[in-house]
Structure 1
Amino acid sequence: MTDQPINGPDAPGGCPVAHGGADDLTRLYGPQAALDPHGIYGRLRKEHGAVAPVLLEGDIPAWLVLGYREGRRVLDNPRQFSRDSRIWRDWKEGRVEAASPLIPMLGWRPDCVSQDGEPHRRLRRAVTDNLEAVAGRGIRRHVTHFANKQIDAFAGEGSADLVGDYAEYLPMLVLTRLFGLPAAEGRSLAVSCAQVIKGGEGALAHNDRIMQILGELAERKRAEPGPDFTTGLLKHHAGLDEGEILSHLRLVLITAHTTTSNLLARVLQLVLTDSSRLAGLVSGQLSVSSVVEEVMWNTPPLAVLPGRFATADLELGNAHIKEGDLLVVGLSAGNLDPQIRPDSGVSVHGNQSHLAFSSGPHECPGQNIGQAIIEIAVDVLVHRLPGLRLSVPADELTSTASTWEARLDRLPVEFAA
């Protein structure tokens, strides 16, 4: 570690972190952040404006982008805000350890998320081509099958936790089919993906486990190709090498599962805390997609998006950003920015300009698959379980946040067995 300031100490608005000075900044991790992330976002917005200095795990400094317009600028301008973490100054100068729990989320890999320009376009095309291919091969059938199988396990009980018994694992079960993995791997992979996003000391070990399983999968699919995403990457005309194939399998598996499972839980929460929405879904007068849209604005599945790296000194909001600084984009904070939503209670129906899927060249390529999983999962559930209702008051539902997301803890329900 160096004792030199990470940003110039005299730069007004510069990130005021030097070795030993971390206590001056807000941590986006730990017990307080886990309980009230929105309270932290609100306080930071009052103190710093649209861009605030914060600390990530290990007291690593970053800029949290809270403003909607500022978030758009960061996401839409890869020449100024690169995805290539090899220019991250704290990493280059040895302040971030290789064993840091931030590495699974921020470290460079040979995938399309870590690169810009032509390398990004080449790799992203391989991903989007194969996502489109598997989406056209009966994804709705797979979701319906696994949704019914999950519900069968608790339908006779008259009660369930729709997080632990349904939303937490269903997307991964669908992904095992799309990847060509055994369904038996689904639950353990879901746990490992969640731990990678959550961070903490187990994140790297879970990431290594995922990579081992995916390495074995790729080897198997070379010998026994099939109509699946893995085989599609292996055979794509872009000619991905071994590292690129494994990195993209990892990327799609982790992001698709964690974001879809979190979004599914939030959609179910919104439906079950509003009887008119539930009645509308059952009667067909309300579409699941309109509920998803509302959740995307108010509680997006990723609250904070990692990460972008400044390619030069520049100004963003009131902050003086230095070349090599890390920026993380507050998707949840940006969607609720009072500059664009002075009244967050106003309907957002038909407005898809939220930040939940990111924006710009790195916008989520699998959003249609996630939407299909959620729409079918909700539809099957509300029609399979008569009398479905929350079994606790809505204000007793709790969430736990990590740096990157806030997940619903439980969603206990009752229904006619």
Structure 2
Amino acid sequence: MTNRPAAGPVPPPGCPAHAGPAEAAGGTGHSAAVPMYSPEFAADPHGTYARMRATHGPIAPVELTPGVYASLVTSYPLGLEILRDTERFAKDPRGWQAMQDGTVGPDNPVAPMMMYRPNALFSDGEAHARLRGAITDSLDRVDPHALSEYVERSAETLIDAFASRGEADLITEYASVLPLLVFNQLFGARPADGPKLVETMMKLFDSGEEAAAANDELLHWISGLLADKRRKLSADVTSWLIAHPSQLTDDELMQQMILLMAAGTDPQQNLIANALRLLLSDDRFAGELSGGSMPVEDALDEVLWNDPPMANYGTRFPRYDCDVAGVRLRKGEPVLISYAAANHEAAMASERRSGNRAHLAWSAGAHRCPAERPARVIASVAIERLLDRLPDMELAVPVERLTWRTGPFARALAALPVRFPAQAVAVNEPFAASVSEPVRFDETSGVSQWNPVPSSSTPPAATSPERQPESPQAARRRLLSFLTAWWRGQ
């Protein structure tokens, strides 16, 4: 058994005994920490990673948000080592020193992404194995062909909302909404709940005055869904979680569903949007579109190597003071893995990235993302359907003028405005009515036979005159109005 230093008394905040990552490395203290929340970092993260390596080596002191410090691993081999090392590093953040002593409070901007929740992401050992087993087994029962058909059907609905205008913001009107419609179906909710779920999640993502009420609405929605499914199981992820041999409690079920939704919405949006940006701006990909070839899978791999949706995450907490790559990491001080920096380092050393999926975008080790397969299905079908419907689509602004959201974790565009020849959109059947009733729950087959009916695309109309991209708020209001009218048959 390894001898670990005994935990001593906790010094008060501000005491010199509070050695942050830079002090632990023998550096100059917090003054050496690189801020990861500035527009400059968002605009050129790879330049920042290169400077980190040159100054600090493979582990750099960083500031995630003002006053919250961590160590960032920018090396692929070292990142892989830490992600797989469950003996020295814990995923459970209840040992996070700064949160224990009150230096970081639960209302801190980065706390929701790092503080403990009773779900598979923030658990270790047997607790993690039990919760993850329920999630993995349930996701494995999703029929990828049915999922693909439903993504296509949802994509058609969203494209119809903006096709006649000749312009759109693919973030607010497509990439951020499609995963929510798919999750509405994956969870076995009523199709008519889709627009409300979209509205609720948009309020949460905006983090505005309505966010608290939206959080309550989401919890109420999940609670009601669980109650409905306990009365009548069907072929959906919620029912499979309920029926799983691990016998999750209602609170555990709710927490795993929130985890799935959080992990499958914003990161999925970023994967779709970042790949679309690449396909519409990079000659290696855009040049092939006019020839009828859509190298979507190659574009996804390129994004996962260089601009992964979660650029810096994989948070770990040393279980005891330890030396890693010549750096002293202190017990309870967060260590993040830069998937983006590590991948880029490995990609630059490789002669071939196309088809190579050895990147860390899905993490590694015991906490590797269990939803890689459905995530790729959703992204690839969403992109292919959009490019098929709007083959002459182009960016409405030069690619260098696109802006990125600030923050330490995600690689996310703030907007993705496009223009294209406008299409005449036929009036189709209501969205809710077009999805068949759930089939009877089958405990043996484990196949979800949603059997949605894809709609056909409509012929192009005359090209609309060029207009300025509208605001994200206006686009969201119009999209929600369209979705609500769609399922009502109006």
If the length of structure 1 is used for normalisation, what is the TM-score? 0.89
Deviation at 1:402, TM superposition (A): 1.2
Equivalent-residue separation in structure 1 for 2:99 and 2:138 (angstroms): 33
Find the partner of 2:254 among 246, 257, 276.
Answer: 246
After superposing the two structures, state which structure 1 stretch, 135-144 or 150-159, moved more.
135-144
Report the counterpart of residue 149 of structure 1 in structure 2.
157
**Structure 2 gap segments, 5+ residues each:** 1-11, 423-490
After superposing the two structures, state which structure 1 stretch, 290-299 or 39-48, moved more.
39-48
Find the partner of 1:369 among 363, 371, 374.
Answer: 374
Report the counterpart of residue 400 of structure 2 in structure 1.
395
Q: In the alignment, does 2:18 pair up with 1:6?
A: yes
Cα distance 1:57–1:279, how it changes in 2: closer, same or farther (>3 A)? closer
After superposing the two structures, state which structure 1 stretch, 401-410 or 147-156, moved more.
401-410
**Structure 1 gap segments, 5+ residues each:** none
Report the counterpart of residue 215 of structure 1 in structure 2.
223
Instruction: Provide Cα deviations, 1:360-403, integer angstroms capped at 9, x if missing partner.
Output: 11111011111111111111111111422223222222222311
Q: Is the 8 A contact 2:315 2:334 kept in 1?
A: yes
Report the counterpart of residue 301 of structure 2 in structure 1.
293
Report the counterpart of residue 136 of structure 2 in structure 1.
128
Find the partner of 2:267 among 254, 259, 263.
Answer: 259
Report the counterpart of residue 416 of structure 1 in structure 2.
421
Q: Secondary structure at the match of 1:91?
A: helix
Report the counterpart of residue 114 of structure 1 in structure 2.
122
Report the counterpart of residue 435 of structure 2 in structure 1.
none
Q: Is the 8 A contact 1:84 1:116 kept in 2?
A: yes
Q: Is the 8 A contact 1:82 1:310 kept in 2?
A: yes
Deviation at 1:290, TM superposition (A): 1.7
Cα distance 1:9–1:291, how it changes in 2: closer, same or farther (>3 A)? closer
Q: Secondary structure at the match of 2:142?
A: helix
Equivalent-residue separation in structure 2 for 1:294 and 1:211 (angstroms): 36
Counterpart of 2:390, as a letter, is L
Q: Secondary structure at the match of 1:53?
A: strand
Q: Is the 8 A contact 2:168 2:418 kept in 1?
A: yes
Find the partner of 1:194 among 205, 211, 214.
Answer: 205
Cα distance 1:12–1:66, how it changes in 2: closer, same or farther (>3 A)? same
Deviation at 1:261, TM superposition (A): 0.8
Report the counterpart of residue 383 of structure 2 in structure 1.
378
Equivalent-residue separation in structure 1 for 2:369 and 2:71 (angstroms): 22
Deviation at 1:239, TM superposition (A): 0.7
RMSD across aligned C-alpha pairs, in angstroms?
A: 2.7
Equivalent-residue separation in structure 1 for 2:201 and 2:141 (angstroms): 23
Cα distance 1:308–1:189, how it changes in 2: closer, same or farther (>3 A)? farther
Report the counterpart of residue 336 of structure 2 in structure 1.
328
- Matching of residues 3-402 of structure 1 within 5 Å: 3-4=14-15, 5-7=17-19, 13-14=25-26, 17=29, 22-136=30-144, 138-181=146-189, 182-192=193-203, 194-195=205-206, 207=215, 209-274=217-282, 277-278=285-286, 280=288, 285-337=293-345, 340-342=346-348, 346-402=351-407
Counterpart of 1:402, as a letter, is G
Cα distance 1:192–1:131, how it changes in 2: closer, same or farther (>3 A)? farther
Q: Secondary structure at the match of 2:342?
A: helix
Equivalent-residue separation in structure 1 for 2:209 and 2:34 (angstroms): 21
Q: Secondary structure at the match of 1:272?
A: helix
Cα distance 1:149–1:282, how it changes in 2: closer, same or farther (>3 A)? farther
Cα distance 1:134–1:14, how it changes in 2: closer, same or farther (>3 A)? farther
Instruction: Provide Cα deviations, 1:276-303, integer angstroms capped at 9, x if missing partner.
Output: 6246457564542121111100100001
After superposing the two structures, state which structure 1 stretch, 112-121 or 205-214, moved more.
205-214
Equivalent-residue separation in structure 1 for 2:344 and 2:204 (angstroms): 27
Deviation at 1:98, TM superposition (A): 2.7
Deviation at 1:187, TM superposition (A): 2.1
Instruction: Provide Cα deviations, 1:141-171, integer angstroms capped at 9, x if missing partner.
Output: 2101110000111111222222222112111
Deviation at 1:8, TM superposition (A): 8.1
Deviation at 1:333, TM superposition (A): 1.1
Q: Is the 8 A contact 1:143 1:377 kept in 2?
A: yes
Q: Is the 8 A contact 1:195 1:206 kept in 2?
A: no
Q: Secondary structure at the match of 2:405?
A: strand
Deviation at 1:238, TM superposition (A): 0.6
If the length of structure 2 is used for normalisation, what is the TM-score? 0.76
Cα distance 1:311–1:390, how it changes in 2: closer, same or farther (>3 A)? same
Counterpart of 2:389, as a letter, is R
Equivalent-residue separation in structure 2 for 1:401 and 1:11 (angstroms): 26
After superposing the two structures, state which structure 1 stretch, 373-382 or 137-146, moved more.
137-146
Equivalent-residue separation in structure 2 for 1:315 and 1:204 (angstroms): 42
Equivalent pairs counted in the alignment come to 407
Cα distance 1:372–1:136, how it changes in 2: closer, same or farther (>3 A)? closer
Equivalent-residue separation in structure 2 for 1:206 and 1:25 (angstroms): 35
Compare CA radii of gyration and give the structure with the larger one: 2
Q: Is the 8 A contact 1:37 1:401 kept in 2?
A: no
Deviation at 1:126, TM superposition (A): 0.5
Deviation at 1:173, TM superposition (A): 1.2
Give % identity: 33
